[in-house]
Amino acid sequence: MLDSLGLTSAVRRTPRPVEDLRSTSVVDDPVQRRDLILLERARTGDLQAFNDLVLCYQEQLFALIVRMVPDRDQASDCVQEAFFAAYRHLGSFRGGSVKSWLSRIAVNAAMDMQRFRKRRPADPYPELEDDSWQPPADASADPVTTTLTAERHQVLNQALAQVTDDQRAAIVLYDVEGYDYAEIAEMTGVSLGTVKSRIHRGRLALRSLLADRMELFRG
């Protein structure tokens, strides 16, 4: 993945001077610098560079979207659509974080799909109960801790699936992904106050849903 030949050469290569100042802001973060280089190469028609970006972010985007849509298949569809849209609109990148740009596209795709599914409802969130995969534990991790963590994740995912779409999106972007209010407002196309309200009300709703399982979170 990250050690693919194209990606390695892209990271090692000194960024060529480009006329577009939007993409030449000085970036100290090596990840961000790598992303910008790959994006510039993709803009010139280098498909391999774009696919390297896909490899870098597909798992993160999938983790983001799978918590916003009812099942993994839909999440996969959304992520695929997001990458299609990103490739189609490479020219519309206005600088900044490539991850945020891709996340915004994916969130928009997920919200569009949610709106579409509301008109044609399907089974409600059957796949979020799927706990067949958990992040690999450290070798030194206590089995009890690992089990507790897995259970905590499971009940959190179940509770997340029961709050409203808007609240879920805001909470996932804020608490899980770590974006700030302004970024979320830009991603979801609503005001800052609406974002805060969704986060706070959603968190209260989660607490109501998890009232009888709070012992898992109290350490």
Partner 1 sequence: MTDPRATVAGHAAHDLTVLAAAADRDADDATRLSATAQMADCPECRALFADLTAISAGLADLPRSLPVSRDFRLSPERAARLRSPGWRERLAGLARSPSLRPMATAFTALGLAGLLLSAAASGVFSIPLGASGAAAPALAPAASPAAADNFSGGSGSGAGSATGSGTENQAATAPPPPGAGSTAGPAAAATPVPVGTTVGKGAEPTPPTDRSSQGSPGGSFIPPGPGGGSGSGAGGPVAAPGESLTGQPGHDGGAGIPAVGISPAQLGLWISAGLLLVGLAMFLLLRYRSRSFGR
Between residues 66 and 110, which has the closer beta carbon with respect to partner 1? 66
CB of 116 to partner 1, least distance (A): 15
- Local structure of 211: helix, strand or coil: helix
Between residues 47 and 121, which has the closer beta carbon with respect to partner 1? 47
Task: State CA 190 to chain mean position distance.
Answer: 18
Between residues 27 and 167, which has the closer beta carbon with respect to partner 1? 167
Residue 18: partners with Cβ closer than 8 Å, 6 or more residues away = 24, 40
- Count Cα atoms within 13 angstroms, Cβ side, for 88: 7
CB of 14 to partner 1, least distance (A): 26
Between residues 121 and 174, which has the closer beta carbon with respect to partner 1? 174
CB of 144 to partner 1, least distance (A): 16
Binding region for partner 1 (CB under 8 A): 47, 50-51, 54-55, 58-60, 62-64, 66-67, 72, 76, 79-80, 83-85, 87-89, 92, 94, 105, 108, 133-135, 149, 152-153, 156-157, 171-172, 174-178, 180-181, 189, 196-197, 199-201, 203-204, 206-207, 210, 214, 216-219
Tell me the two tokens of residue 214.
Answer: 């709070």
What is the rounded CA–CA span in Å between residue 217 and residue 203? 14
- Count Cα atoms within 13 angstroms, Cβ side, for 94: 1
CB of 39 to partner 1, least distance (A): 14
Picking from 54, 153, 172, 42, the residue whose alpha carbon sits closest to that of residue 102 is 54
